[in-house]
Amino acid sequence: MTDNDTYLKGQQGGIGVIESSKCFGGYSGPFCEPCDVGSYKIGYSYAMCKPCENKPKNSFYNERGAGSS
C-alpha cells in the first residue's frame, strides 16, 4: 500500500471487482450459470452449487441446472 492508494467506502465495485446478484435454484456464480452435471442449488440465493449424493446404483446424472438434489 502506498500513500497514493485510496479506498472507496460504501461505493460499488472497482477495477477487478465483479458484483453479482442472487441466482435462481440450479444456477450459481457471478453470471448465474447452470450448476454442472451432478450438482444442484436450491432456492433463490447467493449459495454455490453442491454435489448431488442421492444417485441410485448403476445410474448417472445427465442434466445441468438442477434445482433439487
Q: What is the pLDDT of residue 13?
A: 57
Are 47 and 24 a contacting pair, CB within 8 Å? no
Residue 30 lies in a domain: yes
Are 27 and 65 a contacting pair, CB within 8 Å? yes
Residue 24 lies in a domain: yes
Q: What is the pLDDT of residue 56?
A: 86
Residue 6 lies in a domain: no
Range of the domain at 39: 20-53
Residue 69 lies in a domain: no
Q: What is the pLDDT of residue 34?
A: 92
Residue 41 lies in a domain: yes
Provide the number of structural domains found in the chain.
1
Residue 38 lies in a domain: yes
What is the tens place of the pLDDT at every residue in 39-56?
999 888 888 899 988 888
Residue 1 lies in a domain: no
What is the tens place of the pLDDT at every residue in 3-53?
555 555 555 656 666 667 789 999 998 888 999 998 999 888 888 899 988
- Bridge partner residues of 33 (DSSP): 28
- Percentage of the chain lying above the pLDDT 90 cut: 10
Closest CA to 30 of 18, 43, 42: 18
